[in-house]
Chains A and B, each alone.
Chain A
Amino acid sequence: DAGVTQSPTHLIKTRGQQVTLRCSPKSGHDTVSWYQQALGQGPQFIFQYYEEEERQRGNFPDRFSGHQFPNYSSELNVNALLLGDSALYLCASSLFRTDNSPLHFGNGTRLTVT
Protein backbone atom coordinates (compact mmCIF):
# COMPACT_ATOMS: atom_id res chain seq x y z
CA ASP A 1 0.00 0.00 0.00
CA ALA A 2 1.77 3.13 -1.22
CA GLY A 3 1.96 5.95 1.25
CA VAL A 4 2.18 9.62 0.40
CA THR A 5 4.74 10.30 -2.29
CA GLN A 6 6.25 13.67 -3.13
CA SER A 7 8.49 14.86 -5.92
CA PRO A 8 11.08 16.09 -6.30
CA THR A 9 12.96 15.38 -3.08
CA HIS A 10 15.27 18.34 -3.44
CA LEU A 11 15.13 21.51 -5.49
CA ILE A 12 17.33 24.55 -5.84
CA LYS A 13 15.84 27.71 -7.33
CA THR A 14 16.86 31.31 -7.75
CA ARG A 15 15.04 34.22 -6.17
CA GLY A 16 12.15 35.37 -8.39
CA GLN A 17 11.65 32.01 -10.07
CA GLN A 18 8.60 29.81 -9.85
CA VAL A 19 8.39 26.24 -8.55
CA THR A 20 5.90 23.37 -8.69
CA LEU A 21 5.89 20.56 -6.16
CA ARG A 22 3.89 17.39 -6.58
CA CYS A 23 2.14 14.99 -4.23
CA SER A 24 0.26 11.70 -4.54
CA PRO A 25 -1.87 10.86 -1.50
CA LYS A 26 -2.04 7.58 0.35
CA SER A 27 -4.33 5.10 -1.34
CA GLY A 28 -7.92 5.66 -0.20
CA HIS A 29 -7.39 9.24 0.93
CA ASP A 30 -9.24 12.11 -0.70
CA THR A 31 -7.83 15.20 1.00
CA VAL A 32 -4.42 16.76 0.57
CA SER A 33 -2.90 19.40 2.82
CA TRP A 34 0.37 21.24 2.32
CA TYR A 35 2.69 22.41 5.08
CA GLN A 36 5.88 24.44 5.16
CA GLN A 37 8.46 23.45 7.75
CA ALA A 38 11.39 25.77 8.37
CA LEU A 39 14.47 24.33 10.02
CA GLY A 40 13.86 23.70 13.71
CA GLN A 41 10.20 24.71 13.52
CA GLY A 42 6.87 22.96 13.45
CA PRO A 43 4.98 22.56 10.17
CA GLN A 44 2.96 25.63 9.13
CA PHE A 45 -0.36 25.02 7.37
CA ILE A 46 -0.50 26.39 3.83
CA PHE A 47 -3.80 25.05 2.46
CA GLN A 48 -6.01 22.01 2.09
CA TYR A 49 -7.67 20.58 -1.01
CA TYR A 50 -10.72 18.35 -1.32
CA GLU A 51 -12.80 17.63 -4.41
CA GLU A 52 -10.40 19.78 -6.42
CA GLU A 53 -11.20 22.87 -4.38
CA GLU A 54 -9.21 24.78 -1.79
CA ARG A 55 -11.13 24.23 1.47
CA GLN A 56 -8.89 25.87 4.06
CA ARG A 57 -6.00 28.28 3.84
CA GLY A 58 -3.35 29.38 6.29
CA ASN A 59 -1.57 32.72 6.51
CA PHE A 60 0.38 32.47 3.29
CA PRO A 61 0.41 35.05 0.47
CA ASP A 62 -1.22 34.54 -2.89
CA ARG A 63 2.17 33.59 -4.32
CA PHE A 64 1.34 30.17 -2.91
CA SER A 65 -1.29 28.39 -4.94
CA GLY A 66 -2.33 24.84 -5.49
CA HIS A 67 -4.36 22.41 -7.42
CA GLN A 68 -5.94 19.03 -6.89
CA PHE A 69 -6.61 16.64 -9.74
CA PRO A 70 -9.47 14.13 -10.16
CA ASN A 71 -7.17 11.31 -9.00
CA TYR A 72 -6.66 13.26 -5.72
CA SER A 73 -3.02 14.11 -6.44
CA SER A 74 -2.00 17.68 -5.85
CA GLU A 75 0.47 20.37 -6.81
CA LEU A 76 1.83 23.30 -4.85
CA ASN A 77 3.00 26.29 -6.86
CA VAL A 78 5.06 29.12 -5.49
CA ASN A 79 5.67 32.21 -7.62
CA ALA A 80 8.26 34.97 -7.26
CA LEU A 81 10.37 32.94 -4.87
CA LEU A 82 11.95 34.69 -1.92
CA LEU A 83 14.92 33.56 0.14
CA GLY A 84 12.52 33.05 3.03
CA ASP A 85 10.65 30.39 1.06
CA SER A 86 13.54 28.00 1.63
CA ALA A 87 12.08 25.17 3.70
CA LEU A 88 10.87 21.59 3.72
CA TYR A 89 7.47 21.36 2.04
CA LEU A 90 5.35 18.53 3.35
CA CYS A 91 2.29 17.06 1.76
CA ALA A 92 -0.17 15.23 3.99
CA SER A 93 -3.22 13.22 3.04
CA SER A 94 -6.27 12.19 5.02
CA LEU A 95 -9.97 11.43 4.72
CA PHE A 96 -12.05 14.60 4.50
CA ARG A 97 -13.49 15.75 7.83
CA THR A 98 -12.93 12.36 9.47
CA ASP A 99 -11.97 12.70 13.11
CA ASN A 100 -9.94 9.54 13.48
CA SER A 101 -8.07 10.05 10.23
CA PRO A 102 -4.72 11.57 11.19
CA LEU A 103 -2.56 13.23 8.59
CA HIS A 104 -0.23 10.90 6.71
CA PHE A 105 2.84 12.79 5.61
CA GLY A 106 5.15 12.33 2.67
CA ASN A 107 8.91 12.65 2.98
CA GLY A 108 8.81 16.22 1.77
CA THR A 109 10.52 18.37 -0.82
CA ARG A 110 13.51 20.36 0.39
CA LEU A 111 13.43 23.71 -1.43
CA THR A 112 16.46 25.97 -1.37
CA VAL A 113 16.16 29.48 -2.80
CA THR A 114 19.42 31.25 -3.58
Chain B
Amino acid sequence: ELKVEQNPLFLSMQEGKNYTIYCNYSTTSDRLYWYRQDPGKSLESLFVLLSNGAVKQEGRLMASLDTKARLSTLHITAAVHDLSATYFCAVDISGTYKYIFGTGTRLKVLA
Protein backbone atom coordinates (compact mmCIF):
# COMPACT_ATOMS: atom_id res chain seq x y z
CA GLU B 1 0.00 0.00 0.00
CA LEU B 2 1.29 3.44 -0.90
CA LYS B 3 2.46 5.50 2.04
CA VAL B 4 3.14 9.21 1.75
CA GLU B 5 5.10 10.84 4.53
CA GLN B 6 5.93 14.48 5.02
CA ASN B 7 8.42 16.06 7.30
CA PRO B 8 8.46 18.04 9.31
CA LEU B 9 4.88 17.79 10.56
CA PHE B 10 5.13 21.20 12.20
CA LEU B 11 7.38 24.06 11.22
CA SER B 12 7.69 27.40 12.94
CA MET B 13 10.01 29.80 11.18
CA GLN B 14 10.96 33.45 11.22
CA GLU B 15 10.06 35.76 8.40
CA GLY B 16 12.84 36.06 5.86
CA LYS B 17 14.23 32.57 6.47
CA ASN B 18 14.44 29.68 4.02
CA TYR B 19 13.26 26.14 4.64
CA THR B 20 12.35 22.91 2.85
CA ILE B 21 9.44 20.53 3.34
CA TYR B 22 9.99 16.93 2.27
CA CYS B 23 7.50 14.45 0.84
CA ASN B 24 8.54 10.78 0.63
CA TYR B 25 6.43 8.08 -0.93
CA SER B 26 6.76 4.33 -0.94
CA THR B 27 5.85 3.10 -4.44
CA THR B 28 6.43 4.08 -8.02
CA SER B 29 4.72 7.24 -9.14
CA ASP B 30 5.54 10.01 -11.55
CA ARG B 31 2.68 12.33 -10.69
CA LEU B 32 2.78 14.46 -7.60
CA TYR B 33 0.78 17.48 -6.53
CA TRP B 34 1.20 20.07 -3.81
CA TYR B 35 -1.76 21.71 -2.09
CA ARG B 36 -2.20 24.42 0.49
CA GLN B 37 -4.92 24.50 3.13
CA ASP B 38 -5.67 27.53 5.30
CA PRO B 39 -7.36 26.92 8.68
CA GLY B 40 -11.04 26.13 8.23
CA LYS B 41 -10.74 26.33 4.47
CA SER B 42 -10.51 23.90 1.59
CA LEU B 43 -7.43 22.83 -0.36
CA GLU B 44 -5.89 24.95 -3.10
CA SER B 45 -3.67 23.48 -5.80
CA LEU B 46 -0.12 24.87 -5.85
CA PHE B 47 1.98 22.71 -8.16
CA VAL B 48 1.64 19.80 -10.56
CA LEU B 49 4.82 17.74 -11.04
CA LEU B 50 4.59 15.17 -13.81
CA SER B 51 8.06 13.82 -14.47
CA ASN B 52 11.41 13.08 -12.91
CA GLY B 53 13.37 16.26 -12.44
CA ALA B 54 10.32 18.52 -12.76
CA VAL B 55 10.72 21.87 -11.05
CA LYS B 56 7.99 24.47 -10.65
CA GLN B 57 8.21 27.89 -9.01
CA GLU B 58 5.59 30.38 -7.96
CA GLY B 59 6.61 33.38 -5.91
CA ARG B 60 8.49 32.26 -2.81
CA LEU B 61 7.66 28.58 -3.31
CA MET B 62 9.54 26.10 -5.46
CA ALA B 63 8.65 22.42 -5.82
CA SER B 64 10.71 19.61 -7.31
CA LEU B 65 10.29 15.90 -7.99
CA ASP B 66 12.84 13.07 -7.95
CA THR B 67 10.95 9.92 -8.95
CA LYS B 68 13.99 7.68 -8.53
CA ALA B 69 14.40 8.73 -4.91
CA ARG B 70 10.59 8.86 -4.50
CA LEU B 71 10.99 12.31 -3.05
CA SER B 72 9.50 15.74 -3.62
CA THR B 73 10.54 18.94 -1.95
CA LEU B 74 8.75 22.23 -1.38
CA HIS B 75 11.26 25.00 -0.79
CA ILE B 76 10.28 28.25 0.85
CA THR B 77 12.44 31.28 0.18
CA ALA B 78 12.39 34.34 2.45
CA ALA B 79 9.20 33.31 4.20
CA VAL B 80 6.43 35.82 4.85
CA HIS B 81 3.50 35.58 7.25
CA ASP B 82 1.02 34.99 4.40
CA LEU B 83 2.62 31.60 3.75
CA SER B 84 1.34 30.29 7.09
CA ALA B 85 -0.87 27.31 6.23
CA THR B 86 -0.82 23.53 6.07
CA TYR B 87 0.88 22.07 2.99
CA PHE B 88 0.03 18.65 1.59
CA CYS B 89 1.64 16.58 -1.09
CA ALA B 90 -0.52 14.07 -2.96
CA VAL B 91 0.79 11.14 -4.99
CA ASP B 92 -0.91 9.20 -7.75
CA ILE B 93 -0.85 5.45 -7.15
CA SER B 94 1.02 4.04 -10.13
CA GLY B 95 -1.02 5.71 -12.80
CA THR B 96 -4.45 5.00 -11.31
CA TYR B 97 -5.33 8.70 -10.84
CA LYS B 98 -6.18 7.77 -7.25
CA TYR B 99 -4.39 10.28 -5.08
CA ILE B 100 -2.98 9.57 -1.65
CA PHE B 101 -2.29 12.59 0.50
CA GLY B 102 0.59 13.04 2.87
CA THR B 103 0.27 13.78 6.54
CA GLY B 104 0.60 17.51 5.97
CA THR B 105 3.10 20.08 7.21
CA ARG B 106 1.70 22.86 9.34
CA LEU B 107 3.77 25.96 8.68
CA LYS B 108 3.71 29.00 10.91
CA VAL B 109 5.74 32.04 9.88
CA LEU B 110 6.48 34.37 12.75
CA ALA B 111 6.87 38.10 12.20
Which residues of A come within 8 Å of B, CB atoms? 33, 35, 40-45, 48, 56, 58, 90, 92, 96-97, 99-100, 102-108
| Dominant secondary structure of chain A at its interface with chain B | loop
Q: Is A104 within 8 A of B103, CB to CB?
A: no
Contacts of B45 in A (CB 8 A): 102-104
Of the listed stretches B13-21, B62-70, B77-85, B94-102, chain A binds B94-102
If A103-B33, A103-B99 are given as contacts, then 20 extra A-B residue pairs at C-beta distance below 8 Å, sorted by A number, are: A33-B99, A35-B101, A42-B88, A42-B102, A43-B88, A43-B101, A44-B101, A45-B98, A48-B97, A48-B98, A90-B42, A96-B97, A100-B50, A105-B35, A105-B42, A105-B43, A105-B44, A107-B41, A107-B42, A108-B42
Can you report 14 A-B residue pairs in the complex whose CB atoms are below 8 A from each other? Answer: A42-B4, A42-B102, A45-B98, A58-B98, A90-B42, A92-B43, A96-B97, A102-B35, A102-B48, A103-B33, A103-B35, A103-B43, A104-B45, A106-B42
Residues of B contacting A: mostly: strand
